[in-house]
Amino acid sequence: MRKLKILVWISCLILLILFLQEEAISIETEEDIFGLNLVRSLGGNSQVRKEVALTFDDAPSPFTKEVLKILDNYGVSATFFLVGSQVEKSPEVARQIVAAGHEIGNHSFSHCWSSDDSVETLVEDIKRAEEAIYRSTGQVPLYFRPPGGMVNDKVKEACGQTGYGILLWWVDSRDWLLTEEEILEKVKKEVKDGAIILFHNLATTVEVLPQVIEDLRREGYKFVTISQLLRY
């Protein structure tokens, strides 16, 4: 599985290099290379015209099916970051995400990381999640999002050893804390062309998601997956 990810990443990097030689682009990003690991927090891209990527962390959860139903009703493609331990508890929901045509990412197995964890501990947790996701869905995630967005040198090295790129976000909806009105206002204020928007699989998310989609569409935005967004 790791060899497959490495081949895909090499192909993507070659295409990106060829494209950059033809036309300079403006991407707000932080990049570090650890092995084949590219740490990228994509915010805006002058070549992206009215496209955003909705991402949903901590899936599967008791609310994931409702999130999927909303996305289906609006014809929206998204990216779900799966927690391995939750995939083992609800493998049928993980398969439903893939069957609906959405993209999946790795969000660790335990979702309980500490800055004191060793590289070896992090690598084991990432691999364990990958194996759980592959067993349930038949797919190997290309991207990794650390629990809580924790990024340090040990996390980068662990992802480098496992062949993952780290995907963060530009807009954090803070749907685990804010009211529906506050979420709508925050997304509206911070969204921009090429934005990666962070949501979770929560009751509040289910309530606010339809209005988020309608508001962004009213502003002319198109919804794409992470891979589609990173084609630029």
Instruction: Give residue 83's Cα distance to chain centre.
Output: 12
Domain boundaries, the chain: 2-229
**Catalytic-residue membership of 153:** no
Answer yes or no: CATH 3.30.365.10 is held by domain 2-229: no
Residues 57, 117, 172, 175: which is the catalytic one? 57
What are the structure tokens assigned to 35, written together?
Answer: 């092995």
Residues 58, 107, 125, 200: which is the catalytic one? 200
Residue 42: per-residue pLDDT: 47
Residue 104: per-residue pLDDT: 98
Residue 10: how many other CB atoms lie within 10 Å: 11
10-residue stretch averages of pLDDT, the chain, 232 residues long:
53 40 39 54 61 96 98 98 98 98 97 95 98 98 92 90 89 97 98 93 98 98 92 72
Within 13 Å, how many C-alpha atoms sit on residue 143's CB side? 23
Q: How far apart are alpha carbons 59 and 29 in whole angstroms?
A: 26
Q: How many residues does the chain have?
A: 232
Within 13 Å, how many C-alpha atoms sit on residue 67's CB side? 27
Residue 142: per-residue pLDDT: 86
Residue 22: per-residue pLDDT: 34
**Catalytic-residue membership of 107:** no
Residue 24: per-residue pLDDT: 31
Residue 40: per-residue pLDDT: 55
Residue 8: per-residue pLDDT: 47
Residue 38: per-residue pLDDT: 55
Q: Which distant-in-sequence residues (6+ apart) come within 8 Å of 207 by Cβ? A: 180
